[in-house]
Amino acid sequence: MKKTWWKESVVYQIYPRSFCDSNGDGIGDLNGILSKLDYLKELGIDVIWLSPVYQSPNDDNGYDISDYQAIMAEFGTMEDFDRLLFQIHKLGMRLVMDLVVNHTSDEHPWFTESRSSRDNPYRDYYIWREGNGNCPPNNWGSVFGGSAWEFDEHTNMYYLHLFSKKQPDLNWENPTVREEVFQMMKWWLDKGIDGFRMDVISMISKTPGLPNGPVQNGLYGDASPYTVNGPRVHEYLQQMNREVLSRYDVMTVGETPGVTVEEARKYAGEEGDELSMVFQFEHMGLDDHPLGFKWNDTPPKLVKLKATLSKWQTELAGKAWNSLYWSNHDQPRAVSRFGDDSPKHRVQSAKMLATCLHMMQGTPYIYQGEELGMTNISFETISQYRDIESLNAFRELTGNGILTQPEMLRYLRRKSRDNARTPMQWDDTLNAGFTTGEPWIEVNPNYPQINAKQQIADPDSVYRYYQKLIRLRKTHRIIVYGSYELLDPNDETIFAYTRKMEGQKLLCACNFSSREEVFFPPEEFIVRPGVCLIDNAVARYCCESQMTLQPYEAFVYLI
């Protein structure tokens, strides 16, 4: 397996709107991030992934871009950006930017031109179709609810938007669109950024003819069979790699909903003519509703979680590189979803989850606040939510009688993207030190108990534990490159696995339950003395043939 810097890195994701506000307008900004670089350096991370900071009308918080080469006024200026990039590099870290090119904003000049007439030179930058009588061209539903087609009265045609109607899909079949995107990418790379996280990049190629999809919930057809891993997606990414990426020393991670192991080997193959790695979503779908949507409140089953993550570990081994994550700006807080956010178990279970993920093969991603064990927020009413996906889903699913309002509010509390978007909790002063103004979304009221200042001062905090995990990855190659094997796949409470490399062996054991559980380590770890690299509950000086693990205990043993 080839050794590269991005395989050996730990990435930290910043959602700028919610990270740190420097000017009191209630919205995080670039100078806010600048003021926290020392915090990130101290944590030990190597790469920052910055969610979109480009000019945007903010229908989807920056994932609807109206100018790819300008900074959103609320976030600052291009000079602020340049200063931030300079400082990140000066501190020995790297910066990866979000690349959102499946769609633009409907306020992007390309779209303004495109919609102005049927024969405008920009018409073919987007996907326009005639209606089917009075109906849209096909039955596809949008990810954010409603039809994926919007009728445009001006030219009497429909345009495709797989996300909101303010996010029209670009037509990647048009070679000029690809050329424009590649030029824009080069512009950022020439500025010195270190790579891209590519938004829904598995969706850029649509099946010609745009066939109807299977109908779900009696509402709309599922577009994914014809939009995910589409017929030309690899051709497009290979072209992008040839013409842009291969000319720079970059890391790229594709956000690839619907990716299979087989597809991932193509996107992120070890021989590398597309991307460095992809985000797979299988473990994010384990707690979906039986009706097929994400709105639900049943926790995922550990046996399935182990099977899923282990499948990706073993089936990509030597063939493609994994990215490792529990959370991001689209997912609920990890400790609330996979751990236990009660005061009794929050710290322990957050550390346990971190151990379980950071000892696997792949590049670990930490989402802002995860390193503090930040939790979901309990909004009581729909008016407290800000996220377009949550608001649309509430309206659609309760309006159609598929779910009741109390049910949907319960599901939102568990799964809404806003759980990840409440402001970063810096200290116990007003608004958790995030802003001196009125925050754009409420701060989690638990900030006096859960905040960075207090955790930096506490050697046993979740923050300090993450710091230690990151250091271990830097000092033990086996954590980066060792081979992986799952132990006891059917054990319903313990997630244990081994890593092996060049005569070294590592055991990672994690109790996912709130009770004591008995664990039987493999024989080889009992007979050979070794060292405990990290533990979150009990100092484990040796492995015994039978061990009683504390609630949410995790330990890592190296022989």
- Which CB sits closer to ligand NOJ, 57 or 269? 57
Per CB under 6 A, the list member of 21, 29, 46, 60 interacting with ligand NOJ is 60
CA–CA distance, 253 with 234 (Å, rounded to integer) = 14
Residue with tokens 């779209």: 111
Q: Which residues pair with 252 in a beta bridge?
A: 196
Task: Using only the alpha carbons of the chain, give its radius of gyration.
Answer: 23
Closest approach, Cβ 374 to ligand NOJ, in A, equals 18
> In the window 330-359, what residues touch ligand NOJ (CB under 6 A)?
330
* CA nearest neighbour of 359 among 558, 96, 546: 558
Residue with tokens 């000017």: 23
Closest approach, Cβ 60 to ligand NOJ, in A, equals 5
Residues contacting 24, CB < 8 A, separation 6+: 435, 436, 437
Closest approach, Cβ 63 to ligand NOJ, in A, equals 3
Tokens of 322: 């994994």
CA–CA distance, 122 with 502 (Å, rounded to integer) = 57
Query: CA 77, 81, 82, 87 torsion: positive or negative?
Result: positive
- Which CB sits closer to ligand NOJ, 396 or 517? 396
CA–CA distance, 483 with 472 (Å, rounded to integer) = 17
User: CB nearest ligand NOJ: which residue?
Assistant: 63
CA–CA distance, 29 with 22 (Å, rounded to integer) = 7
Distances (CA, A) of 135 to 114, 132, 158: 22, 5, 10
Closest approach, Cβ 226 to ligand NOJ, in A, equals 18
Closest approach, Cβ 257 to ligand NOJ, in A, equals 8
Q: Catalytic one among 80, 106, 255, 287?
A: 255
Q: Is 199 a binder of ligand NOJ (CB under 6 A)? A: yes
- Which CB sits closer to ligand NOJ, 268 or 472? 268
- Which CB sits closer to ligand NOJ, 46 or 330? 330
Closest approach, Cβ 325 to ligand NOJ, in A, equals 12
Q: Catalytic one among 199, 263, 274, 330?
A: 199
Distances (CA, A) of 373 to 99, 447, 515, 545: 28, 11, 20, 32
Q: Is 100 a binder of ligand NOJ (CB under 6 A)? A: yes
CB 352 within 8 A of CB 518: no
- Which CB sits closer to ligand NOJ, 100 or 409? 100
- Which CB sits closer to ligand NOJ, 168 or 433? 168
Binding-site size, ligand NOJ (CB under 6 A): 9
Q: Is 387 a binder of ligand NOJ (CB under 6 A)? A: no
Closest approach, Cβ 253 to ligand NOJ, in A, equals 12
List of long-range contacts for 429-435, beta carbons under 8 Å, 24+ apart: 434/18, 434/19, 434/20, 434/21, 434/28, 435/21, 435/24, 435/25, 435/26, 435/27, 435/28
Q: Is 255 a catalytic residue?
A: yes
For β-strands 157-160 and 149-152, DSSP reports them as antiparallel
- Which CB sits closer to ligand NOJ, 367 or 495? 367
Closest approach, Cβ 330 to ligand NOJ, in A, equals 5
Tokens of 400: 């159609």
For β-strands 323-324 and 363-367, DSSP reports them as parallel
- Which CB sits closer to ligand NOJ, 80 or 199? 199
CA atoms within 13 A on the CB side of 23: 11
- Which CB sits closer to ligand NOJ, 60 or 371? 60
Q: Is 262 a catalytic residue?
A: no
E strands, 100-137, in order: 128-129
CB 231 within 8 A of CB 205: yes
Per CB under 6 A, the list member of 53, 200, 452, 478 interacting with ligand NOJ is 200
Binding mask 222-261 for ligand NOJ (x = CB under 6 A): ---------------------------------x------
SS3 348: helix
> In the window 61-80, what residues touch ligand NOJ (CB under 6 A)?
63
Distances (CA, A) of 428 to 45, 446, 455: 24, 9, 11
CA–CA distance, 231 with 229 (Å, rounded to integer) = 7
Per CB under 6 A, the list member of 163, 411, 426, 525 interacting with ligand NOJ is 163
> In the window 297-336, what residues touch ligand NOJ (CB under 6 A)?
329-330
Closest approach, Cβ 127 to ligand NOJ, in A, equals 16
Q: Is 491 a binder of ligand NOJ (CB under 6 A)? A: no
Q: Write out the residues near ligand NOJ by the rule CB under 6 A.
A: 60, 63, 100, 163, 199-200, 255, 329-330
Which positions are annotated as active-site residues? 199, 255
